[in-house]
Structure formats: structure tokens, C-alpha cells
Chain A
Amino acid sequence: MSLLVWTLVVPLATALVGGLGGPRAFKEVTMVGGLALTFGLCVATAGECLHGAPPVAFGDALRVDGLSALVLVLCGFVGLLSAAYGVGYLRRNEARQLVTPRRRRQFFALIPAYVFAMLLVSASNNLGILWIAVELTTLTSVFFITFHDRDTSLEAAWKFLMLGSVGLGFALLGTVLLFASGQGQLGDGMAALNWTRFMQAAPGLHPFTLRLGVVFALIGYGTKAGLAPMHTWKPDAYREAPSPAAVLMAVGMLNGAVYCLLRVHLISKAALGPDFSGGLLLALGLLSVLVATPFILIQWNLKRLLAYSSVEHVGIMAVGIGLGAQAGVFGALLHMTYHSLAKPLAFFSAGTLAQLHRSSDFDRLGSGTLSRAPITSGLFVLSALIIMGSPPFGMFFSEMIILRAGFLGPHAAATGVFLGALVLLFCGFTYQVGHLVFGPARDPALDAPDPEAIDIGMVTAILAAILAVVSAFYLPGPLLTLIRAATQVVWEGR
């Protein structure tokens, strides 16, 4: 079997082992070990892609070019971090008797299963397989969202599944219409849905059918990415899902969905020119950034705050892609990389804060967390500084690259609005985080929170913090090469 196949088989096997019974230590070691191996395999596959022809499997149904390789590596990385943090998270919840044995089995099976689905998304060259993989992540997420079994979990799960299914219905219709626009030029059998086949046949695709297909596919996958106005499932889902799973959704799934958007965008660009899907992405991205602003200002829950921040960041990426400049695409992919490096830290520290206080609502968390949980609060402030895009951290630079590309291009006015929204978001986020961490002391009538402890969850968070800070000053050469290779795929369409 090729390296690429192993990359997918290992997380799947880890999921199967996790779903069986067994002593806890064994399951923990299997999950973290399996996902560490997966990450290693992702890096090896990406290396193979950089040093030669793109690795393929199953008759080109899976194909890892530069873009796939970047998303693959980022998803593998997030999967590993989330598994390591998840071990500590689950132990703490179990110490409080919040987790039934059945839920524990689900947890150890579903985290690797989710990683498998994400990797399948990022390695898919076949639009049908892509759709099936995205649907798999959706169905898996439902179990995460109902994990804590609260009233609000059911509400969040219902909304998530209905909205997600409509979105995926649209994406499926988009895929069918893209296929229909080929009018038989794409050939027969499974390979007819291959993205590479579409790119070859691009000049001959039927324009009207293609346009309709692109619109449906972008809206459908945009729902999964959480672009406004289809973002409404995000805050509910992130609040209800356990933090390690929320990271997988907020980073892994987000990258995967952006990957789907890019593939559709590239087909449209090759056949209709850059303005059609580019303009649509620009509009949706701008709307996402604008929509996130007021909700961050009035937010009442820590994890929902992070969800709106995630709406903002996917908006930034969509704007970067939609601008139609090579620098914009590079900025968007760089932003995706830095976002994947920093967002786990934000979710880990916020998750730990919520666990210590037994709620992520601001009124139960109270302000001034610095005095009660100094290390975690410090980590959270650091992560907030990074994801707000303050210098000298990486997202500041990726945002600057996108802004520069915007002001130099034909969309200067839109970029101006975008810049204004980014500034407002920065202020809103600063206010919320400042109030939470440094605000006045908490109401003594609330029950006292648990003390901080140095456990595997904390260690993972500190490691994530070191990675996030170091990456601001030093991106490893191969990673930068990978981002450049991905930019080249998006820019040249091959």
C-alpha cells in the first residue's frame, strides 16, 4: 500500500480500536500514538508531493497536490494536538463523574474517526468522494455536540444537522450540476467526477449549468465553512461540543471546507474566468467579517466568542481568495496555516477555564480569571492576542498581505470596508478578553472554581503556545515551501 493509503488507514484503525472496550491507559496511548503516527504520515505524504509527482491512490480518486498536502498536514497536526488535550480533558470530566463508559468509548472512537474524515476530505480529488467525506464529518459532529447531553445540546445538534444537511444537499446539487455541465466530455465511471478531469474539460463546460452548479456548491460548502449568512450553527455547536472536538471542527473542518470551496472556485475560474466565483467568495467573506463584529461585542459565552472569531477568520480567508490576486491567495493560505497553529491554543485554554468554572457562560465564569487560574488565563490572553491579529504574531502579517493585495487590486473599496471591520473586531475582542481576564473580582456568591493542575491537557496547551509563538518568528522552510506550492496550485489551477 502506498503512503497515502496508510495515512488514511491508520486513523481509521485507531478509531476502531478506540471503539472497543479496554483499559483506559491502553486506549489513551492508542489514540495519541495513532494520531501521532498519522501526523507523521501526513508530513511524509506532503514531502513525497513536494519532491516529485503528486501521490495518487485508487485511480486518481485520491490525489495529493500542493493544496491537498497543506490541508493534510494542518489537519494531521490539529488531530494530534486535540487527541493529546482530549486525554486530559476526559480525565478531568471523569473525575467528576460526568462521563459514562459509553460516552468514553464514543470519545475514543470518534476523535480519530473525525480525523480520518478530515484527511479524506483533504486528499480527495473526486468531487463525489469529497462530498461523502464532508457528510461523514457532519454526522460525526452530531455525536460530539450531544456529548454532554444537556437541553441546549439537543437544540444545537438539531439546528446543526438540519442546516448542515440543507447545506450538503446544496453541495450535492452543485456537484451534480457541475457533472451535468460536462455534457458527456468527462467520460464514464468514477473518474468522471475527478477534479483533474474537470480542469482538463473546463473550456467546454456548459456555462449556465456550471454557473448554477458553482453557486449551489459554494453556498453548500460555505455552510460547512461557516461563512455568513450560513454560519448560525457555529456558535451553538462550539458551545456544546467538548473543547477537543470543538478544535477539530473549528480548525480541521474549517480548513477542509475552505479546501472544498477552493476546488470549486478553481473549476469555475478555469471555465468562466476569476470574477464569477471570486466575486461570490469576496461578498460572502466580507459579510462574514461584518456579521461577526456585533456578535463579538454583545457575546455572553466564551466558546461562542471563539465561534464568531472563527466566522471572522474564515471570512478573511474567503476575502483573500476572492480578491483575485496571487498575493491574496498566498495571504489566505498563510492565514489558514497560522490560524491552525493558534486556534487550538485558544480552545484549549478557554476549555480549561470553562472546565474549572464548570461553565463557559460569562455570568458563571465571572471576570478577573487571572487571580483564580493564572497559567490558563495567561495562555488565553496570549492566544487572544494571536488570533486578534496583533503584531508581531503571524496572523498580523497574513492579514497585511491580504489587505495590501486588496488595496492594490480592483476591489479597493471593499478592502476598505474589510479593514474597518477588522479594526472593530480587534477592539471588541480586546474588550471581551480584557474584561474576562483582568476585570474586577468575581461575585463571591458563585461556587469556587477548581484549582489549576499541571496535567497532560495543560502540557499540551503550553506546547501549543510555544508552537504558536515560535511560528510567528520562524516558519520551517518546508512548511513555507508547502504554502508556496499550494498557492501555485490555486493560482495556476494544476
Chain B
Amino acid sequence: MTANVLILCAAGMLVSAYLMVAQKALFTTIRLYSAQSLLLGIVATAIALSQGRHELFVTAALTVALKGLLIPWFLMRVVDRIGIRQEIEPFLNVPTSLLVCVGLTVVGYRCSTGFPDGARGVSHHVVGIAISLLLIGLFLMVTRKKAVTQILALLTVENAVFLVAVGVTSGMPLIVELGISFDVVLAVLILGVLVRRIVDRFESMDISRLSRLKG
């Protein structure tokens, strides 16, 4: 039962990443990220219940509170203040992007067979999905031009790392995890402030225009 919930939620995270790739409205993308983080929280809770690891409850609570609610709320506020709602045409169009993502998922699953459990059991799916999610996050980062989308891509990569952490190791030591969550929130706050200053200065958050420094 838990195994099914686990695989279902992990798959849900992958689907949310695909939808982020296909999506241009910034608010929807932020909501998708929020859903992804909530699913990560459920994955952590499921593992905590099935293996009796109580520290993972803290991880799950932190994930839901910080990544599911706080960070999305903050990013929505940034977007709201700026008043830019749409991603402009990415460097690659949506159908091609989705095809690339399918390829990345294959790579991710192929990679996961080298782990101790190989192509068996729950961890095969969790690791496969986590690596795919990581690759899709990186892909999103290089193909999008808007600053906020790049932050979301970065956060997707970060979610992928956490999925590996809960899926393969049943969680990192608690204090380290607290430190990491704190750092991530801090990084997002600083990035948000930077976005606002970039928009004030350049009247756009199109990162491809930031190209004065070369050589």
C-alpha cells in the first residue's frame, strides 16, 4: 500500500515537471511547483510511516511548510509586484521541449539501474524519477528566459535532490537537513530581491538581455 502511494506521488512529481515545461503562465508554473513540493512531502511521510523513521516527519513538515507554501507564496508576491505574467517564447518550442524531456526520463531510469537495488522495487522508480526530475530542471533552466522561471527550475533541481535523499537513504541526518532547508529559503529570498532589482533597472526580467559581461 505505502509502496503504491510512494510510486504514485513520485510519478506525480514527474508529471508536474512536464507540465512546468509545457506551461507559459508564471502563476500556474508556481502552483505546479507548489504541488510538486506537496507531493514530495507525502513521499517523505509515506517513507516515515513505513520504516518508522520519525525524523522524516520533520522533513515532511518542513517540505510542506517551506517549499509547498512559503516559497510559492513569496514568488507569487514577486510576480504580482512586477506585473509580468507570461513567459516569453522559450529558446525551444513546447513540443520539442517535451520530446527532449521524454529522452531525459529514459536517461534517468537507465541511470537508476546501477543502484544497489537495481531495477527492482520502489527505489528503482524513486531514483529514476529523481534523476529525470533533476535533468528536466536543468533543461528548464537553460531554455527559459524569465528570471522567475529560472528560480523555479533551480527549485525543481533541489526537489530532485531531496527525493533522492528520502528515497535512497531514508533521509539525511536531521540537523543537516534543517541547515539545508534554511539555506534554500535564504537563497530564494535573495534571488527574489535580485529579480525585483533587475526588473526595476532593466524594466524586464528577460535574463537573455543580461549580456554585457563577456570575455
* Residues of A with C-beta under 8 A to B147: 158
Most buried by B among A157, A159, A180, A235: A180
* Contact yes or no, B198 A154, CB < 8 A: yes
Interface size class of B (residues with CB under 8 A): 35 or more
Interface string of B104-142 (1 = CB under 8 A from A): 000000010011100000000000000000100010010
User: Hey, which chain A residues are within 8 Å of B169, CB to CB?
Assistant: 176, 179-180
Tell whether, in the assembled complex, residue B213 and residue A166 are in contact, meaning their CB atoms are under 8 Å apart.
no
CA of A209 to CA of B114 in the docked complex: distance in angstroms? 7
Contact of A161 among B114, B168, B194, B202 (CB under 8 A): B194
Residue numbers of A with Cβ under 8 A of B are 126, 128-129, 131-132, 135-136, 138-139, 142, 146, 151-152, 154-159, 161-162, 165-166, 169, 172-173, 176-177, 179-180, 183, 188-190, 192-193, 206, 208-209, 212, 235-236, 239, 295, 298-300, 304
Instruction: Write the chain A residue with the least CB distance to B189.
Output: A139
User: Across the A-B interface, how many residue pairs have beta carbons closer than 8 Å?
Assistant: 120
Chain B 146-185 near chain A by CB (<8 Å), digits 1 or 0 = 0100100010011011001100110011111001100100
Q: Provide the residues of chain B in CB contact with A128, threshold 8 Å.
A: 172-173, 175-176, 179-180
Q: Is B81 an interface residue (CB 8 A)?
A: no
B1 contacts partner chain A, Cβ-Cβ < 8 Å: no
Tell me what chain B mostly uses at the interface: helix, strand, loop, or mixed: helix
Known: A131-B180, A158-B198, A158-B210. A180 touches B187 (CB 8 A): no
Partner of A154, one of B111, B158, B201: B201
Report the Cα distance A206→B116, complex, angstroms. Answer: 7
Contact B115 A208 (CB under 8 A): yes
**In the complex where A154-B201, A162-B150, A183-B116 touch, is A193 in contact with B213 (Cβ < 8 A)?**
no
The answer to whether residues A176 and B168 also contact, given A139-B186, A183-B116, A239-B213 and a CB cut-off of 8 A, is yes
Other A-B pairs, 14, CB within 8 Å; known A126-B176, A158-B147 = A128-B173, A131-B176, A139-B186, A152-B212, A156-B213, A158-B194, A158-B210, A172-B180, A176-B168, A180-B164, A193-B173, A209-B115, A209-B168, A235-B215
A160 vs B116: C-alpha distance when bound (angstroms): 36
Are the CB atoms of B183 and A139 closer together than 8 Å? yes
- B3 to nearest A CB, angstroms? 19
Name the B residues within 8 Å of A154 (CB-CB).
Answer: 194, 197-198, 201-202, 210
Residue B22 at the A interface, CB < 8 A? no
Known: A151-B212, A154-B198. A176 touches B172 (CB 8 A): yes
Q: Shortest 4 CB-CB distances between A and B: which pairs?
A: A128-B176, A208-B114, A132-B179, A155-B210
CB distance from A339 to the nearest CB of B (A): 24
* B100: Cβ under 8 A from any A Cβ: no
- In the complex, chain A residues whose CB is within 8 Å of the CB of B138: 166
B207 at interface, CB cutoff 8 A = yes
Cβ-defined contact, A173 with B161, below 8 A: yes
CB distance from B114 to the nearest CB of A (A): 4
Cβ contact within 8 Å between A235 and B213: yes
Nearest Cβ distance between residue B44 and chain A, in whole angstroms? 14
Query: Within the assembled complex, what's the spacing in Å between the Cα atoms of A166 and B140?
Result: 12
